[in-house]
């Protein structure tokens, strides 16, 4: 509910007295950049953005908003691809960007305590000299925050072997929507196993609807002794996809198994000049890690599998630098799309691995049907597809076609027995699909859990749940006006 003039004028000084004058953003020009995240199809600026510096400031801001019945929206770095931080109906964005410190590293117990606004890659950078790392590595890791990762249960290319965020978060501090601060899960310095039900687990992936995460206790892992990064170059997506199935069927669990199709290869090649063959149908990035001794026989095995599937070539990264460049190409592939098109819409559906070839065929048909280009780059190992639907927001008809193409693809994921989001979250983007994927009973159960944390539904409202009718209206309104 956008604020009236009077409400607004006395809210701002109060927020300023909590967080300091420069840490409250309320001028219309300055709110513009906060009108969306990396999902740009829907836009709405919040009424104000506050940047608290510590947990007690977060608490005070939340209490003020509670007393005034204002929506609160947690925001990390705004790299969400599903409109997770959109202020659908106004409200106060609580940005964690100033709470970005690493508070403590405990190598003996392999833990790090960080503030929620800490940038993901900064954790690994701070511990790598001692031979450790923080495993979840979303492609956005150079910018996204640990708080955002917790809220979306982020994964990354290395999820296949190491698991997602929830497998690496021991506990966290959260300020509930009524202003009370709680610690969920393992306490810093406390034992790993805790009694009672796993509220930590429930809150991870709750897309900012349960409260504001302020501190997180992370698990660190020992960096693998060595690793081998291979590039399999295939004539077609079908061949690459069946190689993926064969690798898994052979009982090998690579650290990462990623696929890029021809359009993406071209964009990435233009950006980073790696030397990918522009005429290849698909490229697989296959990474093995672990003890040096076991790696070479596995490498041979994988090379054989790829060749059996008509791989044109299997290259092995010869140096650390070459490996880094391969990952740079993969991790920055989404962004490199800017070289192909002014806007893109990413889908994040999951299909059983065995259906990848069919899914890719469907995406191709969809692209033809709507006369759009849809490159693909994705986590092939776990069937998490990322078709990137290219469009130009200035062309209204194209926007509509892009949205429709996205809907068709997600619908197909459900038909194939998969799901609509692997890691980017539901946000505002996929609300309409929740009732297709879940039964009314399932949704009601989820809603009950949510209301336990946030009875007034003021914390990141209008996300995730289709019953939030305002949200659907909003989506429709936006789509029609677009």
Partner 1 sequence: MSDRVEIDPFLDANQLTACVHCGLCLGACPTYLETGNENDSPRGRLYLMKGFLEQTIALTAKSVSHMDCCLGCRACETACPSGVKYGALLEDTRDHIEAHYKRSWFQWFLRRIVIEKFFPIPTRMKWLLAPAFLIRALKLEGCLPTYFRNALSLIPKKLESAPPLAEITGAVGEAKGKVGFIDGCVMNVMFQKTNYSTVQLLRHMEYDVVTPSSQGCCGALFSHGGNLKQARDSARRNIAAFEKLDLDTIIINAAGCGSTLKEYGHLLSLDPDWQKRAEAFSAKIKDLSEFLMEDDHFEKLKRLQKNEKTSGLDLAGNVTYHDACHLAHPQSITQQPRELIRNFCGDRFVELPESEICCGSAGSYNLTEPEMAGKLQTRKTRNILSTGAKTVITTNPGCLLQIRAGLNQSGNAPLRVGHLADWLWEQIDPTN
Ligand X SMILES: Cc1cc2nc3c(=O)[nH]c(=O)nc-3n(C[C@H](O)[C@H](O)[C@H](O)COP(=O)(O)OP(=O)(O)OC[C@H]3O[C@@H](n4cnc5c(N)ncnc54)[C@H](O)[C@@H]3O)c2cc1C
Residues that bind ligand SF4 (CB under 6 A): 335, 338
Residue number, 142 or 438, with CB nearest to partner 1: 142
Residue number, 180 or 392, with CB nearest to partner 1: 392
Residue number, 382 or 423, with CB nearest to ligand X: 423
Nearest-angstrom CA–CA distance, 71 and 462: 10
Residue number, 207 or 289, with CB nearest to partner 1: 207
Kindly list the distances between the CA atom of residue 402 and the CA atoms of 145, 206, 261, 377, 413, in Å, as whole numbers in the listed order: 29, 27, 19, 18, 17
H/E run at residue 244: helix 237-249
Judged by beta carbon distances under 5 to 8 A according to partner kind, the member of ligand SF4, partner 1, ligand X, none in contact with residue 148 is: ligand X
Question: Which span (306-314, 341-349, 421-429, 464-472) binds partner 1, by CB under 8 A?
Answer: 341-349
Main-chain phi, psi angles of 433, to 5 degrees: -90, -10
Q: Count of CB atoms within 10 A of residue 20's CB?
A: 15
Distance of closest approach, residue 240 Cβ to ligand SF4, in angstroms: 28
Kindly list the distances between the CA atom of residue 316 and the CA atoms of 233, 262, 286, 312, in Å, as whole numbers in the listed order: 11, 20, 9, 14
Q: Count of CB atoms within 10 A of residue 128's CB?
A: 12
Distance of closest approach, residue 340 Cβ to ligand SF4, in angstroms: 13
Judged by beta carbon distances under 5 to 8 A according to partner kind, the member of ligand SF4, ligand X, partner 1, none in contact with residue 342 is: partner 1
Residue number, 281 or 383, with CB nearest to ligand X: 383
Judged by beta carbon distances under 5 to 8 A according to partner kind, the member of partner 1, ligand SF4, ligand X, none in contact with residue 457 is: none
Kindly list the distances between the CA atom of residue 199 and the CA atoms of 87, 406, 452, in Å, as whole numbers in the listed order: 27, 33, 11
- Please answer whether residues 37 and 86 qualify as being in contact, where contact means their C-beta atoms are separated by less than 8 angstroms: yes
Judged by beta carbon distances under 5 to 8 A according to partner kind, the member of ligand X, partner 1, ligand SF4, none in contact with residue 135 is: none
Residue number, 122 or 430, with CB nearest to partner 1: 122
Q: How is residue 452 written in tokens?
A: 């336990």
Task: Annotate each residue in 220-259 with x if it binds partner 1 (CB under 8 A) or - if it does not, as one string.
Answer: ----------------------------------------
Nearest-angstrom CA–CA distance, 134 and 118: 13
Nearest-angstrom CA–CA distance, 308 and 202: 44
Judged by beta carbon distances under 5 to 8 A according to partner kind, the member of ligand X, partner 1, ligand SF4, none in contact with residue 273 is: none
Does 143 sit near partner 1 (CB under 8 A)?
yes
**Which residues have C-beta within 8 Å of that of residue 294, sequence separation ≥ 6?**
none
Distance of closest approach, residue 81 Cβ to ligand SF4, in angstroms: 12
Judged by beta carbon distances under 5 to 8 A according to partner kind, the member of ligand SF4, partner 1, ligand X, none in contact with residue 460 is: ligand X
Which residues of this protein are in contact with ligand X, per CB under 6 A? 37-38, 73-81, 84-85, 96, 116, 138-140, 144-145, 147-149, 151-152, 154-156, 207-208, 212-213, 334-335, 423-424, 460
Does 42 sit near partner 1 (CB under 8 A)?
no
Strand partners, 228: 288
Task: Annotate each residue in 85-114 with x if it binds partner 1 (CB under 8 A) or - if it does not, as one string.
Answer: ----------x-xx-x--------------
Kindly tell me which residue out of 2, 13, 21, 30 binds partner 1, with binding defined by CB under 8 A: 30
Nearest-angstrom CA–CA distance, 360 and 234: 15
Nearest-angstrom CA–CA distance, 261 and 284: 9
Residue number, 34 or 370, with CB nearest to ligand X: 34
Judged by beta carbon distances under 5 to 8 A according to partner kind, the member of ligand SF4, ligand X, partner 1, none in contact with residue 255 is: none
Count of residues making up the chain: 482
Kindly tell me which residue out of 11, 12, 15, 25 binds partner 1, with binding defined by CB under 8 A: 25
Does 295 sit near partner 1 (CB under 8 A)?
no
- Please answer whether residues 277 and 350 qualify as being in contact, where contact means their C-beta atoms are separated by less than 8 angstroms: no
Does 332 sit near partner 1 (CB under 8 A)?
yes
Residue number, 60 or 305, with CB nearest to ligand X: 60
Judged by beta carbon distances under 5 to 8 A according to partner kind, the member of ligand SF4, partner 1, ligand X, none in contact with residue 97 is: partner 1
Residue 452 DSSP SS3: helix
Q: Which of 247, 223, 221, 244 is nearest to 234 (CA)?
A: 244
Q: Supply the angle between the helices 320-331 and 262-272 in degrees, to the nearest 10.
A: 120
Residue 232 DSSP SS3: strand
- Strand 282-290 to 102-106 pairing: unpaired
Residue number, 290 or 335, with CB nearest to ligand SF4: 335
- Please answer whether residues 152 and 175 qualify as being in contact, where contact means their C-beta atoms are separated by less than 8 angstroms: no
Nearest-angstrom CA–CA distance, 439 and 453: 22
Does 77 sit near partner 1 (CB under 8 A)?
yes
Distance of closest approach, residue 338 Cβ to ligand SF4, in angstroms: 5
- Please answer whether residues 464 and 431 qualify as being in contact, where contact means their C-beta atoms are separated by less than 8 angstroms: yes
Kindly list the distances between the CA atom of residue 451 and the CA atoms of 177, 210, 454, in Å, as whole numbers in the listed order: 10, 8, 5
Binding-site ranges for partner 1 (CB under 8 A): 22-23, 25, 27, 29-30, 32-34, 36-38, 40, 51, 77-79, 95, 97-98, 100, 117, 119, 121-122, 125, 140, 142-144, 271, 332-339, 342-344
């Amino acid at each position: 509910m956008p604020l009236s003039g009077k409400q607004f004028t006395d809210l701002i000084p109060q927020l300023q007295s909590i967080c300091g004058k420069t840490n409250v953003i309320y001028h219309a020009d300055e709110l513009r950049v906060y009108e969306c995240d990396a999902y740009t199809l829907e836009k709405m600026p919040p009424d104000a953005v506050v940047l608290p510096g510590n947990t007690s400031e977060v608490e005070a801001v939340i209490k003020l908003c509670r007393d005034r019945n204002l929506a609160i929206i947690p925001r990390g770095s705004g790299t969400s691809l599903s409109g997770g931080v959109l202020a659908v109906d106004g409200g106060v964005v609580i940005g964690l960007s100033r709470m970005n410190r690493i508070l403590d590293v405990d190598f003996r117990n392999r833990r790090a305590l960080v503030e929620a606004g800490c940038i993901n890659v900064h954790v690994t950078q701070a511990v790598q000299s001692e031979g450790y790392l923080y495993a979840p590595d979303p492609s956005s890791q150079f910018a996204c925050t640990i708080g955002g990762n917790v809220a979306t249960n982020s994964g990354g290319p290395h999820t296949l072997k190491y698991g997602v965020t929830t497998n690496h978060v021991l506990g966290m501090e959260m300020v509930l929507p009524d202003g009370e601060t709680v610690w969920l899960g393992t306490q810093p310095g406390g034992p790993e196993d805790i009694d009672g039900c796993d509220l930590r687990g429930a809150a991870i992936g709750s897309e900012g609807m349960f409260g504001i995460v302020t501190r997180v206790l992370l698990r660190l892992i020992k960096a693998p002794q060595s690793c081998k990064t291979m590039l399999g170059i295939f004539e077609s997506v079908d061949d690459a996809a069946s190689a993926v199935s064969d690798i898994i069927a052979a009982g090998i669990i690579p650290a990462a198994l990623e696929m890029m199709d021809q359009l993406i290869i071209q964009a990435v090649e233009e950006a980073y000049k790696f030397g990918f063959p522009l005429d290849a149908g698909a490229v697989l990035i296959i990474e093995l890690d672990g003890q040096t001794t076991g790696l070479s026989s596995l490498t041979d095995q994988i090379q054989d599998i790829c060749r059996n599937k008509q791989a044109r070539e299997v290259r092995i990264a010869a140096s650390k630098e070459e490996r880094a460049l391969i990952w740079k190409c993969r991790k920055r592939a989404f962004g490199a799309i800017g070289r192909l098109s002014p806007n893109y819409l990413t889908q994040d559906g999951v299909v059983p691995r065995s259906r990848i070839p069919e899914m890719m065929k469907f995406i191709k048909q969809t692209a033809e049907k709507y006369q759009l280009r849809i490159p693909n780059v994705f986590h092939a190992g776990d069937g998490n597809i990322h078709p990137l639907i290219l469009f130009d927001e200035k062309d209204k008809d194209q926007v509509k076609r892009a949205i429709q193409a996205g809907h068709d693809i997600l619908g197909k994921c459900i038909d194939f027995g998969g799901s609509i989001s692997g890691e980017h979250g539901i946000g505002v983007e996929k609300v309409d699909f929740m009732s297709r994927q879940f039964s009314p009973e399932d949704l009601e159960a989820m809603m009950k859990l949510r209301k336990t944390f946030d009875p007034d539904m003021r914390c990141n409202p209008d996300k995730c749940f289709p019953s939030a009718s305002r949200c659907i209206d909003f989506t429709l309104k936006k789509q029609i006006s677009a």
